[in-house]
Chain A
Amino acid sequence: MKHLPKHLRPRWRYLAIGIESWPDADFGSHAFQRACWYAAQNLLGDPGAADVDLRVFDFSFADGDGTAIVRVRRGEVERARAAIACVEAVSGSPVGLWVLGMSGTMRACEERYIGRASGETAERNVAFADSQRPALMRDGRFDVHGKPGFVGATSLDI
């Protein structure tokens, strides 16, 4: 199909999103995409969700830490932010999301905000709340195995 003339092409903004979850969370790009669209549809309704677009590109996530680039229609960035803030869980794993930054091209977005190497994850036993427990550690953050699930802690608590 022929390309649209430039003045008719939609203008996009690309949001770099930071993703954080518990270390046992395991979901891929598709699940994240579904969660974003679901959140947008729930908060903004069908027309709003269509307006903001929220297509996920460049998703990476491992060991409870990741990033994604989400495409948003220009002029709808604030509504997109609101929808992203309402993503509470992906595939049943609770997630913390925040917008690292915004760019007009995907390349600028990647270069500026994505790919800051986070430290290695290590597992070790730590003393927390009067008992020895296994924990996953990554640059000063500790996710300690709790009775059910995890407890989020830092090096100060250990």
Chain B
Amino acid sequence: MVDYYEAVRAYPDGESTVARLARTAAEYGLDGIVVRNAPETGITDENAEDESDGRPGGGRIASEYGVDVVDAIEIDTDDASAANARVTDRREERTLVLVVGSSALNRFACEEPRVDVLARPMADGDVNHVLARAAARNGVRFEFDFGRVLRLSGGQRVQVLSDLRKLREIVFQYDAPYVVSAAPESHLHLRAPRELRAVGETIGFDREDVERGLAEWGRLAARNRERLSESFIEPGVERGRYEEDD
């Protein structure tokens, strides 16, 4: 059984609160949501209690609706050095670190192993074989943004589709890791995994590609939570009782 995740933008940037998105996600059969703007929404990974200002914590929402809530941050700046400073700043406190792609930041993000996801790489920039190789080496996921396929029409959508095709060809050629998202900004933008799979198939992806992309968010979150936990020292080294051989 694969766990499907969706990466959302919640109120105040989006139009629905994290709780509403989580509730709708549960109805649609998603297993978790990644909150791209966690700092603004006040979501942190562990707080099962309400925040001081009455907003519900991520843990509380997760237990109420049975949907995993992952705190993430999207870094959206104009130049690489500012982005680098923010990645250094935030890496320890957020489960997922996303960098919004642009012609200035695509290269930085692909060469920085501390970045988890390069979001919307084609919206304002470009991707080539050099970046794809670097991303594969550093484990940076490219995002296939289905949101603009779902919500645009006409010439703009044609542009988006041709960008997605180019990105897909490059990513699959170099076996670079990727995630898939519809980037919803309200609960009305959410779509069920089956629907996204159908859209993916129509625009040239395989079913399995879309499934893998939706599940990748969850896999990333689980990996990073383990790394951020106190018992983790470095890959392969953990504090605690050693496993017994028998």
Contacts and interface: CB of A to CB of B under 8 A. Distances in A.
Interface of A: 20-22, 42-44, 78-79, 81-82, 84-86, 88, 94-99, 127, 129-130, 140-142, 146, 149-154, 156-157
B186 A94 contact: yes
A151 B11 contact: yes
Nearest to A18: B27
State the 9 A-B residue pairs at the shortest beta-carbon distance, nearest first: A152-B16, A81-B198, A96-B188, A85-B195, A82-B198, A152-B20, A156-B56, A82-B202, A156-B19
Given A78-B201, A88-B150, A154 B194 contact: no
B199 A154 contact: no
Interface of B: 11-12, 15-17, 19-21, 23-24, 27-28, 53-56, 60-61, 64, 149-151, 153-154, 157, 186-192, 194-196, 198-199, 201-202
Contacts, number: 97
A88 B191 CA distance: 11
B150 A85 contact: yes
Given A99-B192, A141-B20, A152-B188, 8 more contacts: A78-B201, A78-B202, A82-B195, A85-B195, A96-B190, A99-B195, A151-B11, A153-B17
A86 B147 CA distance: 9
8 contacts: A82-B202, A85-B198, A88-B151, A98-B195, A130-B53, A152-B21, A154-B19, A156-B61
B149 A86 contact: yes
A86 B16 CA distance: 20
